[in-house]
Structure 1
Amino acid sequence: MSEAEGFEFSVPVLIAGAGACGAVAALAALNAGVTPLVIERDDRPGGSTGMSQGLFCAAGTQSQREHGIEDNADIFFADIIEKAKGQTDPVIARALADHSAPTLEWLRAAHDLPWELDLRFRASYGNSRQRLHGWPGHSGDDMVQLLHRRMSDAGVDVLMETRLVDIYVQGDRIIGVALERADGAIEKVGCDALVLACGGFGANRAMTDRYMPETATLKYNGHEGSQGEAIVVAERLGAVLADMGSYQGYAMLTDPQGISVPPPVLIEGGIIVNKLGNRFTDESADIAGMVHPLAGQPDGLGWVIYDARIEERCAQIPELAQLMALNAPKIAEDLETLAKLTSTDPAQLAAAVGDVQRVAAAKGTDAFGRSWASETPPSGPYRALKVTGALYHTQGGLQIDGAARVLRQDGTPFANLFAGGGSARSVSGPSSWGYLPAMGLTTAVVLGRLAGEGAARASAD
């Protein structure tokens, strides 16, 4: 389409996707003096954020300083690059590191979002400082609903059950979109700037088979709306895709409950054994990449072994609280009883747990490379949760610059097309081993703000 008259109506900024990225983009556009229109394919906001713990990384925040934690953008940037083994985009990494704390402080001050440092998550899995922030006692879904209340209070319209199906260009600028409504009707809407905040493509089996075939045997534990439509539509315009083989896997999806065991269960000293009772990996090394060692075990199943001490420390984390309410953990005073409850081999389970207990007593490092110098392994009474591996969300997508502008094949940015969250390339490298805890929501929130601000400016050009 090349004629603006073909649109049924026009808006200055249109935001496709109403999860954390889209909601923050809307609030940022509002702060810049522009009222956006937001669309959402589902009948209820949530997306990947709604299925998460609602935590994101920010470096150099007031909350960190209040707890005596020295952190800054340079340290965060170095952690991102190291975790990704240098195989990520330093421009995006720099933008995320530089804008993480200012974005958090802006949301707290301007929109009264009660986010603070979560002390339950010690520095681990690539984060060299405690920098995971969230809303204490609340989930990612709570966060999304709060963001939507803030949008509603500010008068932002959100069209639910509305899906982006095409983008219209005139010259080198986006001029509008085609939207599919719940009844199948197609509506053409003009816009002066467009933000793609639609999520990734984890639920699109054709795309995951193409870009990450090694995940074919994994369960999918992500948002079913993550179909990759924004990526597909923008690629047709000549947008660059990058790191399409990148994703977050997770080795602790409970079977059969389908609830994630939170990372602090391992951080505080828990271990994983296979269905025979044997350990097979360093549980402290890679929270996302651990999915593949588990997938290689018999039936792809394992048991997270922890104890009453760890349970007490983690009991307020919503996911573990849910599992406890369901009586999901197997509970035993001794390893022999635990072996019976889990149908593991008693001798092998005793050997696995006994080994880490002996190594920890000597403050040493075990055969898998896990240091027990400052960690305490499980001891009776024991707890066990049956787990399997799963794909949670993709990390590849549209190549953007440091202002969240989508790039063309020649490396130049579209003047008024922006992307964030699962639609955009993240900073996890090309595979599953580069994911820093909470970086999914970090990209959503930080890039959402940059995209919203940029779209507001572009709409005035």
Structure 2
Amino acid sequence: MSSNPSRPVRRAASVEAEVRVPVAIVGGGACGLTAALMLADAGVDCVVLERDALPSGSTALSSGFIPAPGTLAQRAHGVLDDSAERFAADIQAKAHGRAAPALVAAYSAAIGPALDALQARHGLRWLLLDGFLYPGHGVHRMHALEQKTGAALMAALQSAAEAAGIPVLTQALVDTLVLDDGDRVVGVEYARPDGSRETLGCDALLLACNGFGGNARMVRALLPEMAEAAFGGHVGNDGSAILWGEALGARLRDLGGYQGHGSWVTPQGALMSWAVMMEGGVQLNCEGRRFHDETQGYSEAAVHVLAQPGGIAWNVFDAPLLALARGFPDFCEAEAAGAVRRCESVAALADCIGCEAAVLQATLDAMRTGTPTSDGRAFARGLEAPYFAVKVTGALFHTQGGLDTAPDMRVLRHDGTPFDNLLAAGGAAGGVSGDAVWGYLSGNGLLSAVAGGYIAARTLAARNPTRNHSA
């Protein structure tokens, strides 16, 4: 880490700025906008500083799916047996007990109220995805907007922020934090597209900016197995929050944790829903063989796929699964781009993959026996012609490690004491996936973004004397 360029931290008792706000938020993704909306509800003024011309970030590139227990949407679908405790147990089971317990408890308890608040007060109407279970979830708790895309989620959050009158300053690249000698944030400095520089004074700062998946040097150092992987995340994930933390003596956590995806369509560069794998689809290598249990999760699947010859696999499925896949906009875009190959027979599928038909036939026959395969997966049925195949590789989407925080989202120093008015959440902070790729439970990224933003807003509202108590 020491070989990485640092991010400037300037020491000053105060800043000369035309504008001073109670809260500055760096990053206009799901985390930053959720925090801003909750602050607005509490009567606390804030400004969101966003590096891009249009807020998007990792959220816009995701499927926009958020797991949450006990929501209005969940109860409306008759799912009454979920709870924060059950959700927390699923998170820890996927992470093999290596996720931070206090944060797991905090996020599990906060995400349901956060989604309900966004629905009741800001018009985000959640659907419960109840057609199948995502890997690691013991109950249907995955939520999405009707469009089922991260871009739609970002558009809804932006619309809500505009309606609430929240200032979102775009094309404002924050590069310097200003703290006094007592480690209190007093402002931030940022660059504008024309090269000019501006300063914003603040009473508190929330870093909701990014992870480090777009910083090739950090990826090589911290996630060497993904050094050559395709990056499906946002280029703004440059590790700024971690580098500021290093400069400040903040504690870092779980830097080996990340979300990979074993279903990155190539060469089109699109995401194919893992629902197809969960409902009976398979991944085959260039020899026509399965090479892992696909139901264990799409994150660790990235590593399995990259270990195959050429780092390539084929998602293979049949007509009923094609109908399921077409319910996801990302898949429809990939299909429109020519990613889906139709094969009328095993011989045609073998020709598509470039493998021996006899090997492929044996692989498909093993799915029809009704007994678990050698990797432990049991199939309810075999695949039937016509077959459909999509060429994929493994990709890195976003990192799960970052600044260590208390459950109230205040950043912690190396000795475990919190900075008074510096908070971090979402991609800037360590999440709840532990320190390895297999610890990622489906939806953990947006869980930490939305729940973290919600918690941070409550912390900031509680310290602001002008607040009301609606958040």
With normalisation by structure 2, the TM-score equals: 0.94
1:405 and 1:376, CA in 2 relative to 1: closer, same or farther beyond 3 A? farther
Looking at structure 2, the residues matched to 52 and 76 of structure 1 have their Cα atoms a distance apart, in angstroms, of 21
Instruction: Give the conservation status (yes or no) of the 8 Å contact 1:55–1:441.
Output: yes
**Structure 2 residue 362 is the aligned partner of structure 1 residue 357:** no
Pairing partner for 2:390 from 385, 393, 407: 385
**Structure 2 residue 119 is the aligned partner of structure 1 residue 108:** yes
Determine the structure 2 residue equivalent to 1:22: 32
Looking at structure 2, the residues matched to 157 and 335 of structure 1 have their Cα atoms a distance apart, in angstroms, of 58
Looking at structure 2, the residues matched to 378 and 100 of structure 1 have their Cα atoms a distance apart, in angstroms, of 38
**Structure 2 residue 375 is the aligned partner of structure 1 residue 368:** yes
- The Cα shift of 1:452 comes to 2.0
Looking at structure 2, the residues matched to 180 and 440 of structure 1 have their Cα atoms a distance apart, in angstroms, of 28
Alignment of 1:154-193 (within 5 A): 154-170=164-180, 171-193=182-204
Determine the structure 2 residue equivalent to 1:82: 93
Alignment of 1:258-337 (within 5 A): 258-337=269-348
**Structure 2 residue 429 is the aligned partner of structure 1 residue 424:** yes
- The Cα shift of 1:65 comes to 2.2
- The Cα shift of 1:209 comes to 1.3
Instruction: Give the conservation status (yes or no) of the 8 Å contact 1:115–1:133.
Output: yes
- The Cα shift of 1:230 comes to 2.0
- Structure 1 window deviating more from structure 2 (5-14 vs 291-300): it is 5-14
Looking at structure 1, the residues matched to 309 and 293 of structure 2 have their Cα atoms a distance apart, in angstroms, of 18
Determine the structure 2 residue equivalent to 1:338: 349
What one-letter code is carried by the residue in structure 2 that aligns with 1:198? C
1:5 and 1:295, CA in 2 relative to 1: closer, same or farther beyond 3 A? closer
Looking at structure 1, the residues matched to 162 and 228 of structure 2 have their Cα atoms a distance apart, in angstroms, of 41
Looking at structure 2, the residues matched to 249 and 265 of structure 1 have their Cα atoms a distance apart, in angstroms, of 17
- The Cα shift of 1:139 comes to 1.1
- The Cα shift of 1:460 comes to 4.0
Looking at structure 2, the residues matched to 282 and 223 of structure 1 have their Cα atoms a distance apart, in angstroms, of 29
Q: Deviations over 1:387-445 (max 9, x none)?
A: 11111110000111111111111111112111111101001111101001111011111
Determine the structure 1 residue equivalent to 2:5: none
SS of corresponding position for 1:79:
helix
Flag structure 2 segments of 5+ consecutive residues without an equivalent.
Answer: 1-10, 467-471
Determine the structure 2 residue equivalent to 1:131: 141
Instruction: Give the conservation status (yes or no) of the 8 Å contact 1:125–1:437.
Output: yes
Instruction: Give the conservation status (yes or no) of the 8 Å contact 2:96–2:439.
Output: yes
**Structure 2 residue 212 is the aligned partner of structure 1 residue 205:** no
**Structure 2 residue 452 is the aligned partner of structure 1 residue 447:** yes
Determine the structure 1 residue equivalent to 2:8: none
SS of corresponding position for 1:433:
helix
- The Cα shift of 1:8 comes to 3.7
1:456 and 1:181, CA in 2 relative to 1: closer, same or farther beyond 3 A? farther
Pairing partner for 2:250 from 216, 239, 242: 239
Looking at structure 2, the residues matched to 49 and 5 of structure 1 have their Cα atoms a distance apart, in angstroms, of 32
Looking at structure 2, the residues matched to 460 and 229 of structure 1 have their Cα atoms a distance apart, in angstroms, of 31
Looking at structure 2, the residues matched to 376 and 95 of structure 1 have their Cα atoms a distance apart, in angstroms, of 40
- The Cα shift of 1:459 comes to 4.4
- The Cα shift of 1:4 comes to 2.5
Instruction: Give the conservation status (yes or no) of the 8 Å contact 1:11–1:191.
Output: yes
Quote the sequence identity (%): 39
Instruction: Give the conservation status (yes or no) of the 8 Å contact 2:15–2:186.
Output: no
- The Cα shift of 1:279 comes to 0.9
Instruction: Give the conservation status (yes or no) of the 8 Å contact 1:330–1:384.
Output: yes
SS of corresponding position for 2:414:
coil
Instruction: Give the conservation status (yes or no) of the 8 Å contact 2:263–2:393.
Output: yes
**Structure 2 residue 401 is the aligned partner of structure 1 residue 396:** yes
Pairing partner for 1:7 from 8, 13, 17: 17
Determine the structure 2 residue equivalent to 1:226: 237
What one-letter code is carried by the residue in structure 1 that aligns with 2:331? L
- Structure 1 window deviating more from structure 2 (89-98 vs 133-142): it is 133-142
1:408 and 1:453, CA in 2 relative to 1: closer, same or farther beyond 3 A? same
Instruction: Give the conservation status (yes or no) of the 8 Å contact 1:241–1:399.
Output: yes
Instruction: Give the conservation status (yes or no) of the 8 Å contact 1:179–1:186.
Output: yes
Determine the structure 1 residue equivalent to 2:226: 215
RMSD, matched Cα: 1.4
Instruction: Give the conservation status (yes or no) of the 8 Å contact 1:199–1:423.
Output: yes
Instruction: Give the conservation status (yes or no) of the 8 Å contact 2:220–2:227.
Output: yes
Pairing partner for 1:457 from 454, 462, 468: 462
- Structure 1 window deviating more from structure 2 (318-327 vs 100-109): it is 318-327
Q: Deviations over 1:173-194 (max 9, x none)?
A: 2111111222222222210011
Pairing partner for 1:40 from 43, 46, 50: 50
Looking at structure 1, the residues matched to 193 and 15 of structure 2 have their Cα atoms a distance apart, in angstroms, of 24
Instruction: Give the conservation status (yes or no) of the 8 Å contact 2:251–2:412.
Output: yes
With normalisation by structure 1, the TM-score equals: 0.96
Looking at structure 2, the residues matched to 456 and 414 of structure 1 have their Cα atoms a distance apart, in angstroms, of 16
